[in-house]
Amino acid sequence: MGVRSPGTLLRLTGAVLWDAADKLEANHSRHIFLAAAGASVELDGGAASDGAVQAALAVGSAGDATALITWWKSARFGLLNPRVMGAVETSTPALLSPPRAPSWYGLSTTSASERAAILAYVDTYAEREQLVLVGARDGALHAFHTDPANPGDARNGEEAWAFIPPAVASALNADKTAGSVSRRVRLPTCCSGRRTGPSIRARAGS
């Protein structure tokens, strides 16, 4: 995984198959979610009028919520060529792939019922779509489509969805006013999951 910010080029390993930031610039029908009143709510056209969404964003009106959502979706990262996606910093990409039986599946202490439940789960999600998950400076956890077995898939690198955690959402209005970024999403290496397949590039603003 190579990450490039304006003015900085890190060493890339393997072939660069898609650029997340470029794909995101061309995506005008994004699916962005946040947690409001204990539920996941998509920030679509009518979300700003939802009182729970306003509370989650720490604003007092639908107009303020609309302005904040529009600002968040805008190209605001980078100096010479502002980008929609913030830089990927201190966040290790994780590959969400179909489940496999755990290492303890074959142990003698694993009961027959547990093995049956594991096999049922693995079978149910055997065709689960693979996603690359990564946090960015824009405050969202991004999920990007990827198929390492099919590098030519046109959907590779397209954003499937983005989620803004509560602690980030509640600080966005203050960040908008101050013109700063106070919180971002991080995926530490210890929790990042598997990293397999060809390299990808998440090139974004700073």
Q: How far apart are the first and last CA of the chain?
A: 17
| Residues facing residue 56 across a β-bridge | none
In a domain, 203, yes or no: no
Residue 181 pLDDT > 90: no
In a domain, 202, yes or no: no
pLDDT class of 195 with cuts at 50, 70, 90 = very low
Give the mean model confidence (pLDDT) for residues 91-119: 94
97 versus 28: the higher-pLDDT residue is 97
In a domain, 135, yes or no: yes
Instruction: Answer whether 202's CB lies under 8 Å from 3's CB.
Output: yes
pLDDT, position 206: 44
| CA-angle at 73, arms to 173 and 160, nearest 5° | 125
pLDDT, position 115: 96
Please give the C-alpha separations between residue 108 and each of 61, 96, 97, 111, 163, in angstroms, as whole numbers: 60, 29, 27, 8, 41
Instruction: Answer whether 169's CB lies under 8 Å from 54's CB.
Output: no
pLDDT, position 186: 58
Give the mean model confidence (pLDDT) for residues 5-24: 60
Among the residue ranges 13-22, 66-75, 125-134, the one predicted with the least confidence is 13-22
Portion of the chain with pLDDT greater than 70, in percent: 81
pLDDT, position 179: 81
In a domain, 85, yes or no: yes
Report the predicted TM-score, pTM, of the whole model to 2 decimal places. Answer: 0.79
Domain tally, the chain: 1
Residue 190 pLDDT > 70: no
Domain range for 162 is 4-191
In a domain, 99, yes or no: yes
Tokens describing residue 30: 């994004």
Give the mean model confidence (pLDDT) for residues 68-74: 92
In a domain, 196, yes or no: no
In a domain, 40, yes or no: yes
Residue 4 pLDDT > 80: no
pLDDT, position 13: 53
11 versus 124: the higher-pLDDT residue is 124
In a domain, 199, yes or no: no
